[in-house]
Amino acid sequence: MGVVNVTPDSFSDGGRYVEPAAAVAHGRRLLADGADVLDIGGESTRPGATRPLVAEELARVVPVIAALAAEGAVVSVDTMRAEVAAAALEAGAVIVNDVSGGLADPEILTVTAAAGATYVAMHWRAHADHMRDFAVYDGPGGVVAAVCEELEERVEAIRAAGVADDRIVLDPGLGFAKRGEHNWELLRDLDPVLALGHPVLVGASRKSFLGALLAGPDGAPREPEGREHAHAVVLAHLAGAGAWGVRVHDVRSARDALAAARMLRAPSAQPDDRSPA
């Protein structure tokens, strides 16, 4: 899933693709690099971000979705708002990627169900401007158990709204109301999330916990675009762990990492007739 941020303030590439023509061109490049899905969003969810007006979000994403869907791209809209989801689906999106899992705007579940679209529910506790206040997982089983329990609750609400089971995808929400150690724990132990019975999407690309891991001698986190090598190792791990999909900024490097991981898991190649005896 290739990321197209049509935003002025996203943590990795804010402002780079805020104009529709630039966003469409970026989406085409991601497709050429091997993206299966383009995830198009008009609201930054980086820690501390403030929300745009609904009209702003609509103006950012709808023209881009319409253009790319018309060219045959499989498009996901990254939004927490029912109104934006409805317009995006009308414009040609087929997936609603809601980082709030329906908590920010429950009507988004009804909109998705009515369209027969796929719904990605991420683990979420609060909006970006204060989600750090909710990064506490002191109960039995820690962050993994809490994420699974809270995702199960969301699945029940999603089903009740009419979204079919085979249209539900889950995301453990790396970086959302989670500290670095929480993200690593979820990556190490993805099995309980997979055991919930739905495909799992994971978005680790360029996130701050990777920047912290790669911090320089002065303690400053590595810049987002310098985190790709570490991310490639995470992708290889996720491929072996059974993730359904990965949300990435650099599709080409992600494809390379996944191709190598796939080859390492394949049965040993048989020698051909030219092999020495």
So which residues are the catalytic ones?
Answer: 207, 247
* Residue 133: CB atoms within 10 Å: 10
User: What is the per-residue DSSP string for 206-231?
Assistant: T-HHHHHHT--TT-PPPPGGGGHHHH
Length of the chain measured in residues: 277
Are 8 and 18 within 8 A, CB to CB? Answer: yes
d(CA 194, CA 148): 9
Dihedral sign, Cα of residue 81, residue 127, residue 77, residue 7: positive
Task: Give the residue among 39, 53, 46, 49 at the shortest CA–CA distance from 6.
Answer: 39
Task: Give the residue among 204, 207, 184, 208 at the shortest CA–CA distance from 246.
Answer: 204
Are 120 and 97 within 8 A, CB to CB? Answer: yes
d(CA 141, CA 267): 36
Q: CA angle, 151 as apex, 58 and 41 as ends, to 5°?
A: 20
d(CA 123, CA 171): 6
